[in-house]
A and B are shown apart, each in its own frame.
Chain A
Amino acid sequence: MAWNIPELITGAVVPLLAVFAFTLPLLAKVFGEKKFPGIWALIASVVAAVMSTYIFTVVWSTGKDIVYGFGGWPPPIGISYEVDPFNAVIAVFTAWIMVLITIYSLWYNRHFDEPEWYYILLIGLEAGMLGCLYTGDAFNLFVMIEVLGISAYALVAYHKNRGEAIEAAIKYGIIGATATTLYFIGLVIIYGVYGTLNMGQLSLLNAEIYYRRPDLIASIGVATLLAVSLALWVFTYKSALFPNHFWLPDAHPEAPTPVSAALSGLVVNIGVYAVARFMYTIFGPASMIAPYYRDAVLTALFIMGFAGAFIGAIMMMAQKDLKRLLAYSTVSHTGLLYMALAIGMSGVPQAAVALGLAAMTYHVLTHGLGKALLFMSSGVFIDSAGTRDLDGLAGVGRKYPLVSASFIIGFLSLMGLLPLGGFFSKLMLYQAFMDAGMLVPALAVIVVSAISVLGYAKAMYSVVFATPTREHREIKLHGIHYMLALMAVGLILLGVLYPWISQGLIHVANSSLIGPGVREYQEAFVRAFHALLGR
Chain B
Amino acid sequence: MITLSEYFMTILITCMIVNLGLALYGVFFKPNLIKKIIALTILGDTANTFALIIGYRMWVAGVPSRPPVFTEWRSNNPLLLLVFTKTAVDPLPQALVLTAIVIGLAVTLFLVFLTLQAWKIYRSVDMRDIRKLKG
Contact surface of A with B, Cβ cutoff 8 Å: 139, 142-143, 146, 149-150, 153-154, 157, 160-161, 163-164, 166-170, 173-175, 177-178, 181-182, 184-185, 187-189, 191-192, 246, 249-250, 315, 324
* Distance of A153 Cα from B108 Cα, bound (Å): 12
11 contacts between A and B (CB under 8 A): A161-B121, A167-B130, A173-B114, A178-B24, A178-B27, A181-B104, A185-B50, A188-B51, A191-B51, A250-B133, A315-B135
Q: B41-62: which residues lie under 8 A (CB-CB) from chain A?
A: 43-44, 47, 50-51, 54, 59
B15 beta carbon closer than 8 Å to chain A: no
Stretch at the interface among B4-12, B64-72, B73-81, B95-103: B95-103
B22 beta carbon closer than 8 Å to chain A: no
* Distance of A269 Cα from B72 Cα, bound (Å): 51
Whether A150 pairs with B107 at a CB distance below 8 angstroms is yes
Give B34 Cβ to nearest chain A Cβ, in Å.
11
Q: B37: nearest residue on chain A (CB-CB)?
A: A174
* Distance of A161 Cα from B118 Cα, bound (Å): 9
B40 beta carbon closer than 8 Å to chain A: yes
Give B78 Cβ to nearest chain A Cβ, in Å.
20
Grouping DSSP codes into helix (H, G, I), strand (E, B) and loop, the B interface class, with mixed when no group exceeds half, is: helix
Residues of A within 8 A of B130 (CB): 163, 166-167, 170
Whether A150 pairs with B106 at a CB distance below 8 angstroms is yes
Give A253 Cβ to nearest chain B Cβ, in Å.
9
Q: A165: nearest residue on chain B (CB-CB)?
A: B117
Give A131 Cβ to nearest chain B Cβ, in Å.
13
Whether B54 pairs with A249 at a CB distance below 8 angstroms is no
* Distance of A235 Cα from B108 Cα, bound (Å): 21
* Distance of A170 Cα from B117 Cα, bound (Å): 10
B63 beta carbon closer than 8 Å to chain A: no
Whether B37 pairs with A163 at a CB distance below 8 angstroms is no
Give A80 Cβ to nearest chain B Cβ, in Å.
15
Total residue contacts A-B, CB cutoff 8 A: 96
Residues of B within 8 A of A166 (CB): 114, 117-118, 121, 130
Residues of B within 8 A of A184 (CB): 47, 51, 96, 100
Q: A178: nearest residue on chain B (CB-CB)?
A: B27
Q: B103: nearest residue on chain A (CB-CB)?
A: A146
* Distance of A174 Cα from B111 Cα, bound (Å): 7
Q: Which of A174, A178, A191, A249 contacts B135 (CB 8 A)?
A: A249
Whether B43 pairs with A173 at a CB distance below 8 angstroms is no
Residues of A within 8 A of B43 (CB): 178, 181
- CB-CB contacts of B110-135 with A at 8 A, as 1s and 0s? 11001101100110000100111101
Q: Known contacts being A143-B103, A160-B117, A170-B33, is A188 close to B132, with CB within 8 Å?
A: no
* Distance of A520 Cα from B24 Cα, bound (Å): 40
Whether A250 pairs with B117 at a CB distance below 8 angstroms is no
Residues of A within 8 A of B131 (CB): 167
Whether B114 pairs with A188 at a CB distance below 8 angstroms is no
Q: Which of B37, B51, B133 has the most CB of A within 10 A?
A: B133
Give B112 Cβ to nearest chain A Cβ, in Å.
11
Residues of A within 8 A of B24 (CB): 178
Give A513 Cβ to nearest chain B Cβ, in Å.
28
Residues of A within 8 A of B96 (CB): 139, 184, 187-188, 191
Residues of A within 8 A of B117 (CB): 157, 160-161, 166
Q: Which of B36, B92, B110, B114 has the most CB of A within 10 A?
A: B114
Residues of B within 8 A of A189 (CB): 54
Q: B59: nearest residue on chain A (CB-CB)?
A: A192
Beyond contacts A153-B110, A173-B111, A177-B107: 13 other A-B pairs, Cβ-Cβ < 8 A, are: A163-B132, A166-B118, A167-B131, A167-B133, A170-B130, A174-B37, A177-B40, A181-B44, A185-B50, A188-B50, A191-B51, A191-B92, A250-B135
Whether A170 pairs with B118 at a CB distance below 8 angstroms is yes
* Distance of A328 Cα from B127 Cα, bound (Å): 24
* Distance of A246 Cα from B134 Cα, bound (Å): 10
Q: Which of B40, B114, B133 contacts A157 (CB 8 A)?
A: B114
B31 beta carbon closer than 8 Å to chain A: no
Q: Which of A142, A170, A185 contacts B114 (CB 8 A)?
A: A170
Whether A185 pairs with B122 at a CB distance below 8 angstroms is no
Residues of B within 8 A of A173 (CB): 107, 110-111, 114
Query: 10 smallest A-B Cβ distances: which pairs?
Result: A192-B54, A163-B121, A188-B51, A250-B133, A146-B103, A185-B47, A177-B107, A184-B47, A166-B117, A178-B27
Give B19 Cβ to nearest chain A Cβ, in Å.
12
Give B47 Cβ to nearest chain A Cβ, in Å.
5
Q: B109: nearest residue on chain A (CB-CB)?
A: A150
Q: B119: nearest residue on chain A (CB-CB)?
A: A166
* Distance of A164 Cα from B24 Cα, bound (Å): 25
Q: A186: nearest residue on chain B (CB-CB)?
A: B47
Residues of B within 8 A of A150 (CB): 106-107, 110
Residues of A within 8 A of B93 (CB): 188, 191
Give B32 Cβ to nearest chain A Cβ, in Å.
12
* Distance of A177 Cα from B36 Cα, bound (Å): 11
Q: A168: nearest residue on chain B (CB-CB)?
A: B133
Residues of A within 8 A of B59 (CB): 192
* Distance of A446 Cα from B62 Cα, bound (Å): 60
Whether A169 pairs with B121 at a CB distance below 8 angstroms is no
Q: B134: nearest residue on chain A (CB-CB)?
A: A250
Residues of B within 8 A of A249 (CB): 135
Residues of B within 8 A of A174 (CB): 27, 36-37, 40, 111
Residues of A within 8 A of B27 (CB): 174-175, 178
Residues of B within 8 A of A324 (CB): 135
Whether B99 pairs with A143 at a CB distance below 8 angstroms is yes
Give A519 Cβ to nearest chain B Cβ, in Å.
27
